[in-house]
Every structure is written in C-alpha cells, then in structure tokens.
Structure 1
Amino acid sequence: MMNKLTIKKKLLLYGFLIQAFILTIFSISLHKSLEISTLDKLENTLRIVILDIEDDILEHDDLADLTFNEEDEYKFDPLYIKFSKINKQLKIIKEINYPKSISNTIDKIDTYKKDVIYFEQKDTFVISSLKFQIKNELYVLEIATDNKNLNDTLENLLYILLFIIPIILILATVGGYFLIYKSFHPIEQIIRNLKEINVKNLSKRLERLENGDEIDSLGKEINNLLQRLEISFDKIYQFSSDASHELKTPLTIIRGEIEIALRKSRSSDEYKETLINCLDEVVIIQQTVNDLLYLAKTEEENSSNHEEIYLDEVILESIKELRPFAKLKEVEIQSNIKDASNMLGNSKLVKIAINNILKNAISFSQKESKVLINSFIKDKLIYIVIEDFGIGISKNDLNKIFEKFYRTDKSRNKNSGGTGLGLSISQKIIHNHKGTISFESEENKGTRVIIKLNHKEYRYKIPSQ
C-alpha cells in the first residue's frame, strides 16, 4: 500500500505520524509533570502547616484548650485536622471536620517513626501525618486536604490538549503540504523538462535557478550528464556516418574485383592480382576503422594512462621509423633537438601524432628535398617544428586540413595509403595533451607545422644534430 504512494504523500503521512507521536508524548509528559509538581507543592504546604501546628501544640500547656486557625492563616481551603493521643488506642483530643473515611488505625500509626512526616493519598484526599512525643506520651497529628482542585486542573488540561492537538496536527499537515509542494516544485519542473528531451534535441538543457541549493546542483549534474550523452551520441552518429561514407568505396572496389574475377576462369597470376587489389582495400578499411575508433574515444579515455615521457626520445624514435619511407621517397630527414625535456603524456599517442605529420611532410615533399625537425624550449613551452619544402597547401585548403577525410591531393594521398584522418588524429592527440598545433604554408614552397606542448621540467641542453 505504502509503495504505491508518491513521495509527497509518503512525506506528508510520515510527517503527520511523527508529529502525532511527538505531541502525544509531549501531552503525556506535560500532564504527568503538572501532576507531580502540583502534588509536590501541595505536600510542601501541608508540611509547613503540620510543623506550625506542632509548634503551637508544644507551646500549650493545656492541650484541651487548643484552637486551630491555620485554614484562615494559610488561606488553605479545605483543611481537615485531627490531633490524637496514642494509648493502646487513638484518643481524639481535637478534630476539625476530619473525614471518618480516611482515619488511620492504631496499628498503622504504631509503624510510624517519631518526628517523621508521612504522606499518603486516599480517594480524593492527600493526608499528612506526624508522630511526636510530649512529656513521655505519644501523640499523632493528621492533616488532610481534598485534591479535587488538582484533579480538576489535570482534567481541564487533558480537555485542552485533546482540543489543541488535533488543531496543531491539522495546521502542521497543511503547512507540511505547502512546504513539500514548494520543495518538490523544482523537481517536478525538472521532470517536465526531461520528458521533453529525446535523441532529436539532446542539446536542450534544464533551466536552473542558480541559487546553489541541492536541487540546483542536481540540475547542474543532469545538464552535465546530458552534455556527455550529447557528445557520445554525436560521436556514435559521426562514426556511423564517417564509416558508411569512407568504407563504401573500398567495399565497392573489392566487390567489383571479385565479380570480374568470377565471370570466367582466369590464370593464377590474374587471381593473385585480384587478391592483392582486394588486400590493399582491406588494409585501407582496417586502417580507416582503427582511426575512426580512436577519434570516437573520449578525452578521458585517451588521457587515462598519462605518465612522464621524454619527448626528445619520442621524436628520435619517430624519425628512425620513417627513415625507410623517406628514403623510398628520396627525401632526407634532418633533426635539430636543442633542448631535451620531459612531459606528462602517452608516449605512443604522441609518437603517432608526430608520425602522421612527419609522414605527410615526406609524402608531399619534392624529390631530393629535405624535411627538418627542430625541437627547443621557449617561454616554458616545448616547441616541435616540422618543415618541408614540397608542394605546399593553398589558403583555401589550409582551413580544412583538420577535417576528417579531407585530402588536399586525393590521388597522391590515396596512393600513399592515407585515409584523410591523420591530421585529425594528430590534432586530437595534441589537444588531449593540452597543446596546440598550427600550420604555415605557401604553395610550391613548403609547409611548416608548429606544435607547442607543456613541459614538466627543464632538464639539460644537448648539442645540435
């Protein structure tokens, strides 16, 4: 039953039950405290009165001539007094309206200690008794009063509480409902806004009050979640779009090659040539898929294994790997690493970024030309400058070189096995390492690539190579 209630109704019900419990405990405690304090006050008054009467008795020589006017003296009404002598039985010496129904027996009075005041309650009466000695004879003084006033006060208090508690509960419930409604209003607004968000409009965000409370923090985190979801959906959509766009051509070529080969019987050399052509396209497909998967990764995934790396060593490894390719293209690589420095990053990814740029520089260089790599520290930054003297890049193409699948020279890029994703990958790697990459180029003269990275510490100088 409770599970089917809304949170607002549950809070309202729980609040009502808790308040009813607290008010009940408070009422019982108040009633009991008033009863105890009033009775204690009554007993103190009786103690004063009985001691005063004892003093009057001790001062009188003739006990039969006693008069008690304590009722007027203390403004205490009603006050019942009985003074008796103890001699095997009780002999009443003086009595003022003392009720017969509450008289003590001699056996009970014998149990009393001398000069000790005893209190007890009988029916609606509060009784105070004192046993004392006068000239070797024992006497007992008993004073009683009706606690009807006390009972009436407690009864009136009970009626007042029974009348007030329901009113308090009603007002508290109404106030609680108002507070719950006001507290849940922003949450209901968030729920309404979330219902309007779907795959088609993930760019929509929740409206926030910017007041810094918990609900505002919840809205902020939901907006951050929506942003991450939007980025993920965009990456999935872009990956699907890029893959279908870029894989269509090589798959068509493979299908065409196979269909031509199956039209008639062919020699083993012709079948071998067909398989080689298909293998080349499969390699392109594999490289394209790998590149697309890397680009689809989030920045957190790519930067999760950063460690201290020595950038000069990474550059030298990259040069070593691409020297055979440069030799094939009849291009010479020259390096000038002035400062050796270290940084936080992923050495494999940084080498991929440098390899892509260096390979492009080699691919688009003129035969028998040079590709220069300079590395140095300036203004607390590591500079890597890769410069070639090749065909260059036009101004129109310079603004598009980081676009995926964009090729400045499609035929030459295709022949070199490129996918048009190399510079996009390099840019993402550099950005993930909190660096920048920029191009300077002039057609038919060459291109210069400038990479800037943050170094961890300056280590030492090394000679130019």
Structure 2
Amino acid sequence: MINTLKQFVGWGTASSLNEFKRATLKLTAYYVVSTFVILAISSFAIIALFVPPDMGHDLFSSSLEIENGHSEWSLYELRQHLVLVVLVVDVAVLFLVSFISYFFARNTLRPIKDNQDRQLKFMGDVAHELRTPLAVMLAGGEIMLKQNRSLEEYKDYITDVQEESKRLTHLSNQLLQLLRVNSNSTLESSPCDFSSLCRNEIRKFQAYAEEKNVQLVDQISESIQIKAHSDSIVRLLQNLIKNAIDYTNQGGNVIVSLTVKESLANLMVTDTGVGIPQAMQTKIFERFQTLDTSHTNQSQVGVGLGLSIVKEIVAQHKGTIKLISREGVGTTVAVNLPLYRS
C-alpha cells in the first residue's frame, strides 16, 4: 500500500507536466488560428478596398504613374505587389504572434499549474503521513507473527497500534476540517458572540491543559460581536489553543485574550513554549509544517495542518493573522476579525 501511494504521486507529477505542456500548446494554437482568421479577413478587405477586383479589362490596360518615380505600373502589377506586401506582413505577424501567444498561454495557465502542483504536493505529504503509522503497524505485525511472544510484548505491540491508530484518526479529522474549510468558500455568516465562543473553548480545554500541566488563562473581554460562521470560528479556536498547549513546556502558561482594537476583534493566543525558529516562521502556516516536539508536552509529532486551517478560516472572514515568536521564549498568534455593528 505504501509503495502504491508513492507510485500514485509520481505518476500524478509526470501527468501534470504533460497536461500543462499539452494545454499550453493547445491554447497557443487557438491564439494563432484566431489571429490567422483575423489577418485573412483584414488582408482580403485591404486588397479589395485599394484595388477593387471588378475593374474588368482596365485592370490590365490602365496604368498608374508613381509620383516620386518615373516608371509606370499597371493596376495588375500594383495589385500583385500589394498582395505580396500583405502576404509578407501577414506571415511576419503570424510568426510573431505565435511566439507571443506561447508566452501568454504559459502565463495564463501558470496559476492553474501552480495550484495543481500544490495539490500534488499535498497528496505526497498525505501519503508520507500515512506511511509512517502504517509501516510501524505492519512491521510490528510481521514480527509478532514470526514466533510466539510474551504477553508483555503483545501488550507493547497493541499499545503501539493504538497510538498509531490515534495518529491516523487525528490526520483524518484534520483532513476533513481542511476539506470543509476549502469547500465553504462562501460561508453563511451571522452575528455571533465571539467572547462566548472563546470562553466555551477555554473551558473545554481546561482539563486537557491540566493533564499537560499547563495553566490556561482567560483574558476575554465581554460582549465582543463579530459576523462569522460560528463552526469555523470554533475550529479556529480549537486549533490555536491546542497547538499552544502542545508546544508549551510543563509548568508553562497559555493566555487567550480577546479585546477590541481599531474597530477589530483582536484575538491573541500566547504561550511560553519552545518558540519557532526564524527560518520556520514564514512557512509555519503552510500545510504539513511541524516543529520539533522533543522538549514539549506533545508525545508525538502532529500532522501540521492546524495552522493552515486557521489561516484559511481567517482569510474567509476577511481578517488578518500574524505570528510573533522567539525561540525558547514563546509564541503569540494574533488574529484580527471585523467587528459586527448592528
């Protein structure tokens, strides 16, 4: 199964490149054919306008003296010369348009290709996240089947399977959250009490924080209203609070504050955790970006989807998100959302 996932991603990447080239050439061909049709129509119109074809015998017998020369050209010769000039110009324009069209086509399709590349990378990352727990369970199962083991060894294996199953469950839940966020590009917003939502989530996470020996502090101002999709805001709060607790050392603090600042609801989640290295701070909102958890409360590395989900939700609500972090000191995630004015 693991090899199948890797092959699937590899085939997807190769197919993406071929499709992009085919689509670029096809769009270029459309541009060139359209230009050819326009040039053909305009060329016939120019020839017909300047040297009408219905001049009968006069076309061959009449002559036109060129003002700045001494030779005389028959109308037939003039027509032929005009046709030649128009043809040369058309061919030159067609070649020029072909090159320009190719670059236009590439630029037009580039955002689509970039989006497809992101999707393929996402699939590869998902395959990688699935591979680790599956490999642990498969390897352990093979060892257990080779010979009889003690009861303790069987218990250890079952414990490992349980832990990896939790990891897979967490990954599937995060993927479902991400799918819901991306599918709700236009959310049905309604006025909601942001203060109450924050307080409810802080209350729910108190037991989790106590289990990790982290103090969860409530600094929520009263009656702050926003117009939002309440389920999405709950997911935003859950991801921010859980992340802060997970990356805070035992005995540390996580402060959740909500205030009004410059006509915006200002949510800040501050922890006294490990902090984020400077090099990681620009990437931390990307999918599958995780930090070292060796000195934190997290027994296993997360899948790295929580903050990317938060970023998507903030963008859908026309808000802003900012991260301030110092390694070894802690991290603050600040979210600003428009206030609701009745």
Question: Quick check: TM above 0.5?
Answer: yes
Q: Using the alignment, how far apart are the partners of 1:295 and 1:235 within structure 2?
A: 14
Alignment of 1:214-253 (within 5 A): 233-234=116-117, 236-253=119-136
| 2:156 corresponds to which of 270, 273, 276 | 273
Match of 2:286 in 1: 403
Match of 1:289 in 2: 172
Secondary structure of the structure 1 residue equivalent to 2:258: strand
Structure 1 pair 279–367 and aligned structure 2 pair: CA distance change class (3 A): closer
Q: Using the alignment, how far apart are the partners of 2:160 and 2:186 within structure 1?
A: 37
Matched, 1:337 2:220: yes
Structure with the bigger RCO (C-alpha within 8 Å, sep 6+) is 2
Secondary structure of the structure 1 residue equivalent to 2:332: strand
Match of 1:415 in 2: 299
Matching residue's letter, 1:453: L
Match of 1:435 in 2: 319
Alignment of 1:341-360 (within 5 A): 341-360=224-243
Secondary structure of the structure 1 residue equivalent to 2:184: helix
Conserved? CA contact 1:407–1:413, under 8 Å: no
Alignment of 1:18-167 (within 5 A): none
Q: Using the alignment, how far apart are the partners of 2:139 and 2:309 within structure 1?
A: 31
Secondary structure of the structure 2 residue equivalent to 1:423: helix
For these two proteins, the number of residue pairs brought into alignment is 243
CA shift, 1:430, in A, is 1.4
| 2:141 corresponds to which of 237, 243, 258 | 258
Q: Using the alignment, how far apart are the partners of 1:425 and 1:249 within structure 2?
A: 23
Conserved? CA contact 1:309–1:344, under 8 Å: yes
Match of 1:394 in 2: 277
Match of 2:81 in 1: none
CA shift, 1:293, in A, is 4.4
Structure 1 pair 296–232 and aligned structure 2 pair: CA distance change class (3 A): farther
Query: Taking structure 2 as the reference length, what is the TM-score of the superposition?
Result: 0.62
Match of 1:448 in 2: 332
CA shift, 1:299, in A, is 4.2
| 1:383 corresponds to which of 266, 280, 292 | 266
Conserved? CA contact 2:187–2:316, under 8 Å: no
Q: Using the alignment, how far apart are the partners of 2:205 and 2:135 within structure 1?
A: 31
Q: Using the alignment, how far apart are the partners of 2:253 and 2:181 within structure 1?
A: 36
Query: Taking structure 1 as the reference length, what is the TM-score of the superposition?
Result: 0.47
Q: Using the alignment, how far apart are the partners of 1:232 and 1:369 within structure 2?
A: 40
Matching residue's letter, 2:341: E
Q: Using the alignment, how far apart are the partners of 2:156 and 2:105 within structure 1?
A: 49
Conserved? CA contact 2:290–2:301, under 8 Å: no
Q: Using the alignment, how far apart are the partners of 2:270 and 2:155 within structure 1?
A: 40
Which has a greater percent of helix?
2
Q: What root-mean-square deviation, in Å, do the aligned CA atoms of Structure 1 and Structure 2 show?
A: 3.1
Structure 1 pair 235–366 and aligned structure 2 pair: CA distance change class (3 A): closer
| 2:310 corresponds to which of 417, 420, 426 | 426
Matching residue's letter, 1:384: L
User: What are structure 2's unaligned runs of at least 5 residues?
Assistant: 1-93
Structure 1 pair 420–280 and aligned structure 2 pair: CA distance change class (3 A): same
Matching residue's letter, 2:315: H
Match of 1:308 in 2: 191
CA shift, 1:410, in A, is 4.3
Deviations 1:381-429 (A, max 9, x none): 1000111222222222222221222222144586256212211111111
Structure 1 pair 202–377 and aligned structure 2 pair: CA distance change class (3 A): farther
Matched, 1:317 2:200: yes
Structure 1 pair 294–237 and aligned structure 2 pair: CA distance change class (3 A): farther
**Identical columns (%):** 28
Q: Using the alignment, how far apart are the partners of 2:234 and 2:136 within structure 1?
A: 32
Matching residue's letter, 1:242: D
Structure 1 pair 299–251 and aligned structure 2 pair: CA distance change class (3 A): closer
Q: Using the alignment, how far apart are the partners of 2:310 and 2:323 within structure 1?
A: 13
Conserved? CA contact 2:266–2:335, under 8 Å: yes
Structure 1 pair 388–410 and aligned structure 2 pair: CA distance change class (3 A): closer
Structure 1 pair 315–405 and aligned structure 2 pair: CA distance change class (3 A): same
Structure 1 pair 444–275 and aligned structure 2 pair: CA distance change class (3 A): same
Structure 1 pair 278–446 and aligned structure 2 pair: CA distance change class (3 A): same
CA shift, 1:342, in A, is 2.2
Conserved? CA contact 2:249–2:297, under 8 Å: no
CA shift, 1:454, in A, is 0.9
Matched, 1:367 2:276: no
Matching residue's letter, 2:234: K
Deviations 1:266-313 (A, max 9, x none): 244432331221122122123223323443567452543433322111
332-341 vs 374-383, greater mean Cα deviation: 332-341
Conserved? CA contact 1:435–1:451, under 8 Å: yes
Which has a greater percent of strand?
1
Match of 2:47 in 1: none
Structure 1 pair 232–406 and aligned structure 2 pair: CA distance change class (3 A): closer
Secondary structure of the structure 1 residue equivalent to 2:166: helix
